[in-house]
């Protein structure tokens, strides 16, 4: 099913725990896909906690087949929206710090 070397590309795999957060699917949903032969997986463990590693491409195809393309698009757009909002707030904080520093430097330069 998977192409040669697909497991090693950055961002090509996703854990079942991350899939729950990103796509809102349960572990049982993922196991059903594995049992149906739609999803390939590899087992892993971090600090003694087991997890399933899946191919993101296959998981997205399985989700769109089972829950619909609209669901997948909605979930992906929501995740991107959250990421953009977070980045905007971080940039606003950095901008405020830089503006304060700019004012300090302007005050220092005026004294010279």
Question: Using H for helix, E for strand and C for coil, what is the string for 30-69?
Answer: HHHHHHCCCCCEEEEEECCEEEEEEEHHHHHHHHHHHHCH
Predicted pLDDT of residue 20: 93
In whole angstroms, give the CA distance from residue 27 to residue 85: 28
pLDDT attached to residue 54: 96
Per-residue pLDDT tens digits for 32-53:
999 999 999 999 999 999 999 9
* Per-domain boundaries in the chain: 1-67, 81-112
In this prediction, residue 94 has a pLDDT band, given cuts at 50, 70 and 90, of very high
Mean pLDDT for the stretch of residues 89-96: 98
Half-sphere exposure of 6 (CA within 13 A, CB side): 15
């Amino acid at each position: 099913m998977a192409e040669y070397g697909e497991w090693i590309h950055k961002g090509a795999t996703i854990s079942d725990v991350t899939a729950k957060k990103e796509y809102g699917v349960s572990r049982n949903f993922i196991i059903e896909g594995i049992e149906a032969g739609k999803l390939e997986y590899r087992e892993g463990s971090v600090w003694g906690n087991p997890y399933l590693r899946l191919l993101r491409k296959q998981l997205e195809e399985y989700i769109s087949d089972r829950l619909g393309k609209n669901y997948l698009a909605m979930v992906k757009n929501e995740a991107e929206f959250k990421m953009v909002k977070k980045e905007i707030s971080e940039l606003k904080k950095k901008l405020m710090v830089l503006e304060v520093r700019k004012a300090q430097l302007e005050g220092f330069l005026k004294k010279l």
